[in-house]
Amino acid sequence: MPALDDILLQKLQLLEARQLKRSLRETGSSGGVMVTRSSKTLISFSGNDYLGLSQHPDVVAAAKSALDQYGAGAGASRLVTGNHPLYAQLEAALASYKTTQAACVFGSGYLANLGTIPALVGAGDLIVADKFIHACMIDAARLSGATVMRFAHNNLEHCRMLLTSARPEHHHCLILTETVFSMDGDRAPLSELATIAKEFDAWLMTDDAHGFGVLTEKHHADIYMGTLSKAAGSYGGYVCGSQTLCDYLKTAARSLIYDTALPPATVAASLAAVKIIVTQPELVKKPLQNAQYFTSLLGIKEAESAIVPLILKETDKALQASAYLEEKGFLVAAIRPPTVPENTARLRFAFSAIHEKSQIEAVAAIIKEQKWLES
């Protein structure tokens, strides 16, 4: 039998030949939207720190205070001894912000989906999911054992068609979507999906990772899942919904039961960030305003969120464009298959409240100069 490393080396070589091999690049923060790579300072349009809160003095101070008071780690799972007092405060703040009865905090957004979806549905049940949902929702759906069907992206008629044909044969039904889709930056029709869910006796769950703290969405879903690692500038995931739902998840979600709790400093940072989000509505508006300023400069479809994709189709074009921008002092990630569908490789621009207009104008000028919109 070939050695493990020999097999893996062959796989890596195949990926490299298709320009699909990933590698990690050390990236340091230089303050604000500035980052450092290979000793070069770049203006980043790749991060998801939409409000700049990862470096906000109140958020940093809260983390330092909790570190001094509680120590570096939680020491155990939440159900053992890791449920430090800050958890209750954060869950109350999240529930209040999302106007739900309760919230349940997980170790990450990935873990929130991985624990919640299999806790709600299983064998004999049905999941109907948008084609472009995040990988963690896909993994959770597969793990659940439920029948999984995918509807064309944001296509309400296709969703309805699948439910019409398959819903009667299954016990429970869960509809999965995202508030803001992470690679395309467009929004789900949550109100319409909620109507369909009610019609077919289904539950609607949305991944709000890229909407939280950036968009003010009305409460349409039965289950709101999100992260604290993006607009909140910290780390962790959460689910908001009814008190009964959250009580149940603390008993049934395996990724909460068997996972060590978040460090107290991380929870404290998230709590401070949520307070800023609640009390500074003008800050919350800025990422979308900056994204829309960018799309207006390029004369393309107005941004629906803080995320704007520039589709270049071929992987090599996206990689070359990303490298060129880096030479010019900008960090803009090239996104390629399998993260996005074949022939849709792209530059993904993510806008923060702390981007300056001059920075947006400068990167837009390069795009025009290179005529990437015409490719």
Catalytic residues: 48, 134, 178, 182, 207, 210, 230
DSSP 237: E
Picking from 320, 310, 371, the residue whose alpha carbon sits closest to that of residue 346 is 310
Query: How far apart are the C-alpha atoms of 223 and 299, rounded to whole Å?
Result: 36
CA–chain centroid gap for 228, Å, is 9
Return contacts of 337-342, CB within 8 angstroms, 24+ apart. 337/20, 338/20, 339/183, 340/183
Q: Cα–Cα distances in Å, from 320 out to 12, 192, 219, 317, 326?
A: 21, 40, 42, 5, 10
Query: How far apart are the C-alpha atoms of 323 and 128, rounded to whole Å?
Result: 38
Picking from 166, 111, 172, the residue whose alpha carbon sits closest to that of residue 143 is 111
Q: Which helix (H) or strand (E) holds 250?
A: helix 243-252
- What phi, psi does 29 have (nearest 5°)? -90, 135
Query: How far apart are the C-alpha atoms of 126 and 163, rounded to whole Å?
Result: 9
Are 51 and 57 a contacting pair, CB within 8 Å? no
List the 333-335 sheet strands across, edge first. Answer: 307-313, 345-350, 333-335
Q: Which helix (H) or strand (E) holds 176?
A: strand 173-178
Helix (H, G, I), strand (E, B) or coil at 337: coil
| Burial class of residue 325, CB neighbours in 10 A (0-12, 13-18, 19+) | buried
